[in-house]
Amino acid sequence: MGTPKQRSGLPTRGIPCKMGVRAPLKRLGARILNTVLWVTTFPSRLGHRKFTPPAYPPARILVIRADQIGDVIMSTAVLPVLRGKLPEARIDFLCGSWAAEIVRFNRYVDNVIVFDCPWWAPAGSRTKTWKRFPCGVIRLLAALRRTRYDVAVDLRGDLRHIFLFMYLAGAVRRISNDRSGGRFLLTDCVPYQENLHEVEKDWSVLAPLGITPAGRQPQVHYTRKDELAAAAVLEDHDIHPRRLVVLFNGGRSPLRRIPAPVLAHACGELIKKSGNAVVVVGSSADRRPAIELLRRTAEIAGDDTGLLNLCGRLTLLQLAALLASARLFIGTDSSVSHLAAAVRVPRVVVFGPTDPRLCAPPGAQTIHHRYPCCPCLQTVCLVTRSRTSAACMRAIEVSDILQAADRALGG
């Protein structure tokens, strides 16, 4: 399929800045912020010598992954190796409240710091998060400065994270890539490589610590209580895990969704072929579309038993436990697909606007009809001119899903 086309950066003249931000308006905003921070921090950087890493291993490490749930799940692949490299260090992990469950019981993390960046907050809570941001960030910075981190690592390469949680927090060694600028705030700047898989980008950021890549397998740890809660839901509806197929067709972007008639037809065929039970998962916002999806599935299967809508009814870790017990998962490019990879359930992941070579969960059977505009982060499809239906997702056929499901199950 070839290598994804490299996009050239748009550096600000005279200011070190290489952009890895795709959307034009976001790229412009990053350039402006990069320029402002370069000017305002210039006096404090005068006379600073080139940073030389100390000979002793760091005692306190801050790992920053303040963005989306799927990104946090993918980043867990690097934590075992980081802990193995620095077994005596205190490793703290900073993330948003929406993703805190993912690392709450991670054995390689000593402390989870929860802070909601308003630019990553879900749309429904963004205004409230902005209102809490000024006081919250002051309290957070005070706590970070008291800890005096020897190393801070921002896995995303976000200029805002670099400035707030590394530079202002007083971290001695500041490591990240130059995705959106800010290399002048870093002691170790790793070149941003857009054509790498997201997990490989995480590994590249850790290279200055002497860490080499060791796979893409994410890890999510849940409790016995989560297992019992998931099992109770299935038992209440007389569904045996051995015949459980879990579906996810939600998420933030409507353009990433599988057309409901196609997905319903595929699920109906799976039910008729193997007697599977179909459970739809997602947030409360996905509940209404899930009702329609299950109605269509029942019509095709000729039976509505074993169909269950669990959208908005499970926590992240309960969902992980449910997925771990399932026979098959079918979903789109989303955090739920990465959660399925973390618990190693056989999985089919359908891609459209995004490129599976850059973000596919490990071990997934992927479906992708590649268009020239891929990868695309637009809110309106460039082909259909629709906000809810992308041409690349319309190209998905029932046979694509059935064949991928057969491969995932070892058929």
**Predicted local distance difference test score (pLDDT) of residue 22:** 56
Quick one: 326 exposed, middle or buried, by C-beta within 10 A (0-12, 13-18, 19+)?
Answer: buried
- Asked if pLDDT for residue 47 goes beyond 70, the answer is no
Reported as a single tens digit per residue, the pLDDT across 129-167 is 999 999 999 999 999 999 999 999 999 999 999 999 999
Topology agreement, domain 24-30+56-209 and domain 224-408: yes
- Superfamily per CATH, domain 24-30+56-209: Glycogen Phosphorylase B; (3.40.50.2000)
Reported as a single tens digit per residue, the pLDDT across 155-164 is 999 999 999 9
Express as a percent the part of the chain with pLDDT over 90.
79
Q: Tell which residue, 206, 218, 188, 216, has the closest CA to residue 108.
A: 218
Residues comprising the chain, all counted: 411
Reported as a single tens digit per residue, the pLDDT across 226-263 is 999 999 999 999 999 889 999 999 988 899 999 999 99
Output the average pLDDT for the chain. Answer: 91
Which region among 10-19, 75-84, 191-200, 377-386 has the lowest average model confidence (pLDDT)?
10-19
The answer to whether the beta carbons of residues 405 and 330 sit under 8 Å apart is yes
Residue 409 neighbours by CB under 8 Å, 6+ apart: 327, 328, 346
Reported as a single tens digit per residue, the pLDDT across 184-224 is 999 999 999 999 999 999 999 999 999 999 999 999 999 99
Sole residue written with tokens 């921070």: 37
d(CA 346, CA 337): 11
Domain definitions of the chain by residue range: 24-30+56-209, 224-408
- Superfamily per CATH, domain 224-408: Glycogen Phosphorylase B; (3.40.50.2000)
